[in-house]
Amino acid sequence: MSKTLKVTLAGVEFDNPIMTASGCCGYGEELSDIFPLTRLGGLVTKSITLNPRLGHPPPRTAETASGMLNAIGLANVGVDAFIRDKIPFLAGRKTRIIVNVAGGSVDEYVEVCRRLNDVDGFDMIELNISCPNVDRGGIQFGSDPKLTEKVVREVKKVFSRPLIVKLSPSVTDITVIAGAAEAGGADVLSMINSVVGTAVDIHTRRPRLTNNKGGLTGPAIKPIALAMVAAVYEQCRLPIIGIGGIACWQDVVEFMLCGASAVQVGTALFVDPETPVKITRGLKEYLRTQKLNSLNDLVGKLEKY
């Protein structure tokens, strides 16, 4: 058997386990100026909502130690413009396309997914029940097991392709939410979304974000994400997409050992847009030197004390 980076999630085959994370690669156009999107295992779009959203006023990002805060506020073109203007471009790329969906109510999630169910050109939906930057919806769903199960169940009724549920780290026990998503019928779990945080400008005495708080991402949160992936891997049968602070191939191996079958790269795309390409190159070399045939042989192979 020849070396392969291929991974399969819920029956969908990915050329490699590296996806770009929601909100960190727009709808793909800008990134495709930097490298051909075929180099990616998959691309996850910015969160799509029923209606277009401007998001919060600037400033809506801030730099932190080994990371950043953002409170973009789900700025997006809305599902109809997305289907009309963005899907055609994405459908033409030879990579897996995952549409991330957010909503302020179960009905909104369901309606967006229903409309998406009618169109081709993408492979999966990722349900964002973990956005820390909106008042209604988002994290509110992802921190309540009952709501989680309900929104997943309702969406599964209207959307027939595989469904990824994206979990929030800002909960007491993420395995409970993971279990609820599984019970609702999720096919795959992705984790983690950003961690609630803030920063203050001591000169103006104002928060550095107009939303007063935001989501912390980047290498700073990698240890948190790894612990949560490991915990959910032990409790839950669904495949896991690891997210949080991934910036190099070694990080991907760490996540896979903890139980992730694939990963998403977010903030690192800002620091170095070529990160995914560098990672897949590194992983290929790793397979070679480790005499492994497939990355699947790593998943969950952490040897705990």
Ligand X SMILES: Cc1cc2nc3c(=O)[nH]c(=O)nc-3n(C[C@H](O)[C@H](O)[C@H](O)COP(=O)(O)OP(=O)(O)OC[C@H]3O[C@@H](n4cnc5c(N)ncnc54)[C@H](O)[C@@H]3O)c2cc1C
Ligand Y SMILES: Cc1cc2nc3c(=O)[nH]c(=O)nc-3n(C[C@H](O)[C@H](O)[C@H](O)COP(=O)(O)O)c2cc1C
Phi/psi region, residue 98 (left: phi>0; alpha: psi -120 to 50; beta: rest), is: beta
Alpha-carbon gap, residue 12 to 97, rounded angstroms: 11
Q: Give SS3 for 4.
A: strand
Report whether 189 contacts 128 (CB < 8 A). Answer: no
By C-beta, is 29 or 63 nearer to ligand X?
63
229 Cβ neighbours under 8 A, 6+ residues apart:
191, 240, 242, 255, 258, 259, 260
Among 218, 242, 244, 259, binds another protein (CB under 8 A): 218
Shortest reach from residue 112's CB to its own copies, in Å: 26
> Whole-number minimum distance, CB 67 to ligand Y, in Å?
7
Residue 62 binds to ligand X (criterion: CB under 6 A): yes
- Per residue, the 3-state secondary structure of 146-186, as one string, reads HHHHHHHHHHHHHCCCCEEEEECCCCCCHHHHHHHHHHHCC
User: How many positions of this chain bind another protein (CB under 8 A)?
Assistant: 35
Residues catalogued as catalytic: 131
- Give how many residues touch its own copies by CB under 8 A: 48
Q: Could you say which of another protein, ligand Y, its own copies, none residue 143 binds, taking C-beta under 5 to 8 angstroms by partner kind?
A: its own copies
By CB under 8 A, is residue 274 in contact with another protein? yes
CA-based max dimension of the chain: 61
- DSSP letter (8 states) at residue 76: B
Kindly identify the residues of this chain, within the stretch 199-258, that bind ligand Y according to CB under 6 A. 217-218, 221, 243-246
| Minimum CB distance to ligand Y smaller for 95 or for 194 | 194
99 vs 298, which CB is nearer to its own copies? 298
Burial 234-256 (b: 16+ CB within 10 A, else e): eebebbbbbbbbbbbbebbbbbb
Taking the alpha carbons at both ends of the chain, their separation in whole angstroms is 33
Residue selected from 270, 281, 288, 301 as contacting another protein according to rule CB under 8 A: 270
Q: Could you say whether residue 175 binds ligand X (CB under 6 A)?
A: no
Give the type of residue at 98: I
Contact string 202-241 vs its own copies (x = CB under 8 A): x-xxxx-xxxxx--x-xxxxxxx-xx--x-----------
How far, in Å, CA of 236 to CA of 11, rounded?
18
Instruction: Based on the shown chain and the rule CB under 8 A, indicate whether residue 65 belongs to the binding site for its own copies.
Output: yes
Should residue 220 be labelled a site residue for ligand X when binding is judged by CB under 6 A?
no
Closest CA to 153 of 119, 124, 187: 187
The least distance separating another protein from the CB of residue 226, rounded to whole angstroms, comes to 17
Binding site for its own copies (CB under 8 A): 64-67, 69, 143, 170-173, 195-200, 202, 204-207, 209-213, 216, 218-224, 226-227, 230, 245, 250, 253-254, 257-258, 301-305
Binding site for ligand Y (CB under 6 A): 21-24, 46-47, 70, 72, 74, 100, 128, 131, 166, 193-194, 217-218, 221, 243-246, 265-268
Binding site for another protein (CB under 8 A): 23-26, 29-31, 33-34, 46, 54-55, 57-68, 70, 72, 75, 218, 267, 269-274
